[in-house]
Amino acid sequence: MRKKTVVLGVTGGIAAYKAAALTSQLTQKGIDTWVILTESAARFVTPLTFQTLSKHHVFVDTFEERDPAVVSHIDLADKADLFVIAPATANIIGKMAQGIADDMLSTTVLATVAPVLICPAMNVHMYAHPAVQRNMNILKEWGYHFAEPGEGPLACGYTGKGRLAESESILTHIEYLLKKGNRKTDLKGKRVLVTAGPTREKVDPVRFFSNRSSGKMGFAIAEAARDRGAEVLLVTGPTSLPKPSGVITYPVESAEEMYHAVMEKIEEVDIVIKAAAVADYRPKEVHDQKIKKSEGQLIIELERTKDILFEIGKRKKHQFVVGFAAETKDVEYYAKDKMSRKNVDMIVANNVKLVGAGFEEDTNVVTIYVKNGQEISLPKMSKREVADAIFDQIMGLLEQRE
């Protein structure tokens, strides 16, 4: 981690005091750390504190130009290998999403081309507000990274989601992003097929069996592949997510429809990532009319659906195939068993009972199991970061094949 430079932006929330400890930890790791405080942040912790810890001048005023040879906010923006904002208030998140640059921090972050890690911290109701959620989604779509806030007692007296992520978690994100570097285009020339979301298995015209999959993980994988230069085919079950731009999307509903969509495209692609939560069973009989309520029990006989991943593994030739395993116990055993039985190259497994790793979450906690015996355990990350980590592993393994 030597010779890396982090620009740390600190905004005006009570969690600003935690940024001082983060500055100290970064400096102790040999990371060159430059700090920008907003005027509000300087009311919580003085610039002198950060100057002492970072061994650098701390910037607050856009118009304080100490070195006539450079423009300070451009010079800082160019120095950064990584730009971190911790804590990030609703105000700075809103400015960034709208391209507003009216102080030293917002001006500098708008000028940087380095990866940006945003660490939100605010009141639980502010965090849940639609405007804040919209602004964060905009930034995620642009490729910004997030260290998700924790849940618990807040300084305002409420309890809920909004606490600044623990410094150890933020450091893990920082180290990962510094090693990863800027966005890659290593998938250029590749065709990637991704499955996402749940399937729905009809019972009658108004009822169906399904599961809690939101499609967020599969969509994040499709977007990561697109941004790294791939041509992306996304086969998705019903979700409320907007279709990702620049991706060829094939909407389906049932496991049978997803099976046929995937099999039609399997020969045309280089990488297959099956992130969809496909129903294992469906009603043997689908009723034409709504089943009316009556006395006693209702018994619905189920039959197996086609095993899409098994069929992919049986048909694959040159394709690199990745499966997902959402488990609640014995994760390693079931992941390795699935990888062997279904003849896939990699399994991404998670325990959906862990906080931050289940369905409908914006984050995930996964372990990547590779056919060659490798195991890569990742900390809690945004699903977009997990997607990039998966492709990092895939491309490394594909290079070994060549």
| Residue 369, phi then psi, degrees to nearest 5 | -105, 130
For residues 60 and 35, give the distance between their C-alpha atoms in angstroms, rounded to a whole number: 9
CA angle 191, 186, 179 (to 5 degrees): 140
CA angle 98, 381, 103 (to 5 degrees): 30
Q: Of these residues, 1, 128, 156, 302, which one is catalytic?
A: 156
Tokens encoding 208: 């169906």
- Residue 209 pairs in a beta bridge with 201
For residues 360 and 351, give the distance between their C-alpha atoms in angstroms, rounded to a whole number: 14
Using alpha carbons, list the distances in angstroms from residue 383 to 20, 190, 223, 357: 28, 22, 11, 9
Tokens encoding 321: 């195939």
For residues 203 and 290, give the distance between their C-alpha atoms in angstroms, rounded to a whole number: 9
DSSP 305: P
CA angle 252, 254, 259 (to 5 degrees): 80
For residues 226 and 232, give the distance between their C-alpha atoms in angstroms, rounded to a whole number: 6
| Positive or negative torsion for Cα 216, 217, 218, 224 | positive
CB 45 within 8 Å of CB 17: yes
Decide if 156 is catalytic: yes
Residue 146: Cβ-neighbour burial (10 angstroms; 0-12, 13-18, 19+): buried
CB 363 within 8 Å of CB 380: yes
Tokens encoding 347: 């399994």
> Residue 287 contacts by C-beta under 8 Å, 6 or more apart in sequence?
203, 204, 205
Q: Which residues are catalytic?
A: 156
